[in-house]
């Protein structure tokens, strides 16, 4: 039986809808299903195909939008895009955010979540959204990751970003620096690392993954001279994890952690805060970056860029990150299926 991957096109005013064009130019062994307003998607694809600013490869293939049929799992042929139609409140205009369409963006995510929980889909790929119009006194939205965590009812999730050279997970995500130290508790670190280890095995197929863990302070604290978080929190937690059989290394100074030797050996790097590791990853390979959320009961990957409102409707946006995210989701779904088969008797 063919598996399905669901793709949410994201904010209708951004570049997400037009990037879906490129999904139909590739051959996929899985069925890809795009959740979006079908009329908006058709109009956007036509607009971009005619735009003088479009990429040379945009619009060279005539597309057919095919209505989603839950009973048919066949992969779409090249030139066909399967669409699960969710109506927007107002016709989205490229480059113009409209708060009236905020519920539409969430409805697309909810429909994807429902299908994932019922094994209708094997994985989710999310297009870029704008928190600016979704976060409101009535919707209370802080981001894809937190929203899916809430829908799934799980205590902890882990943000992992990657590229061909490395995988970087975060102990804390979007926090002001002054709040990071107090947020780093032994409980948090233990939960983050066990989730990371589990999903590296289950969703990436890495046996006994080595996780390199950064310290919080310069030089990993220099035995307390440059900060005590390593002594009070990070080192005791890593000792506890090693005693439980986890392959963790650290805490390592962040300025030397991404050495060529560690890049060869480590399955993933765990950084204590957002800007400790992500500049390294994005410098190494911004174009092919991806984002995935670990700890959910299903696979979720994402593009590693925003809505790019200034490019919307131009056909000039590059599809590299979206294609990487879809390929990753497909590979993770396959690895997860193999993992489940190998551990069926446990």
29-87 per-position pLDDT tens digit: 999 999 999 999 999 999 999 999 999 999 999 999 999 999 999 999 999 999 999 99
CATH of the domain at 91: 3.40.718.10
Q: Are residues 142 and 160 in the same domain?
A: no
Distance of CA 140 to the CA centre of its chain: 21
Q: Are residues 237 and 329 in the same domain?
A: no
At 208-261, the pLDDT tens digits run 999 999 999 999 999 999 999 999 999 999 999 999 999 999 999 999 999 999
| DSSP letter, residue 79 | T
Nearest alpha-carbon partner for 301 in 128, 103, 185: 128
Q: Are residues 20 and 145 in the same domain?
A: yes
Alpha carbon distance 23, 33 (integer Å): 10
Q: What angle do CA 172, 304, 52 make, to 5 degrees?
A: 155
Q: 3-state class of 84 per DSSP?
A: strand
Q: Are residues 97 and 81 in the same domain?
A: yes
Alpha carbon distance 2, 122 (integer Å): 10
Among 273, 289, 305, the domain-final residue is: 289
Residue 1 clears pLDDT 60, i.e. is over it: no
Full residue range of the structural domain in which residue 321 is found:
1-154+296-346
Q: Are residues 33 and 119 in the same domain?
A: yes
Alpha carbon distance 32, 66 (integer Å): 11
Whether 34 contacts 86, CB under 8 Å: no
Percent helix, percent strand, percent coil in the chain, to nearest 5: 40, 20, 40
Q: How many folded domains does the chain comprise? A: 2
At 293-332, the pLDDT tens digits run 999 999 999 988 899 999 999 999 999 889 999 999 999 9
Alpha carbon distance 274, 179 (integer Å): 12
Whether 269 contacts 233, CB under 8 Å: no
Q: Are residues 19 and 144 in the same domain?
A: yes
Q: Are residues 279 and 325 in the same domain?
A: no
Residue 286 clears pLDDT 90, i.e. is over it: no
Among 243, 265, 289, the domain-final residue is: 289
Q: Are residues 285 and 306 in the same domain?
A: no
Give 31's strand partners: 4
Q: What is the pLDDT of residue 290?
A: 84
Q: What is the pLDDT of residue 174?
A: 83
């Amino acid at each position: 039986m063919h598996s399905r991957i669901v793709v949410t096109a994201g904010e209708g005013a951004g570049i997400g809808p037009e990037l879906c064009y490129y999904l139909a130019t590739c051959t996929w062994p899985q069925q890809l299903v795009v959740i979006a307003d079908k009329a908006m998607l058709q109009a956007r694809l036509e607009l971009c195909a005619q735009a003088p600013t479009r990429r040379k490869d945009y619009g060279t293939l005539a597309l057919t939008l095919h209505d989603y049929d839950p009973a048919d799992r066949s992969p779409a042929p090249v030139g066909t895009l399967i669409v699960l139609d969710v109506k927007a409140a107002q016709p989205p205009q490229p480059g113009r955010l409209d708060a009236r369409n905020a519920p539409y963006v969430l409805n697309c995510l909810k429909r994807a979540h429902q299908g994932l929980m019922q094994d209708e889909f094997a994985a989710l790929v999310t297009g870029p959204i704008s928190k600016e119009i979704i976060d409101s006194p009535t919707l209370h939205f802080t981001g894809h990751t937190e929203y899916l965590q809430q829908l799934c009812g799980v205590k902890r999730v882990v943000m992992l970003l990657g590229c061909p050279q490395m995988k970087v997970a975060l102990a804390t995500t979007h926090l002001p620096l002054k709040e990071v130290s107090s947020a780093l508790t032994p409980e948090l670190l233990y939960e983050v690392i066990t989730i990371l280890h589990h999903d590296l095995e289950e969703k990436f197929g890495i046996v006994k993954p080595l996780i390199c863990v950064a310290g919080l302070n310069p030089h990993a604290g220099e035995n307390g001279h440059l900060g005590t978080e390593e002594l009070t929190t990070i080192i005791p937690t890593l000792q506890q994890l090693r005693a439980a059989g986890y392959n963790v290394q650290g805490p390592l100074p962040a300025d030397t952690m991404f050495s060529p030797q560690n890049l060869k050996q480590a399955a993933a790097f765990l950084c204590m805060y957002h800007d400790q590791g992500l500049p390294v990853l994005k410098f190494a390979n911004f174009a092919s970056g991806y984002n995935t959320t670990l700890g959910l009961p299903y696979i979720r990957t994402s593009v590693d860029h925003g809505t790019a409102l200034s490019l919307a409707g131009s056909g000039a946006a590059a599809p590299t990150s979206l294609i990487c995210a879809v390929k990753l989701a497909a590979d993770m779904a396959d690895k997860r299926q193999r993992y489940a088969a190998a551990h069926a008797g446990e």
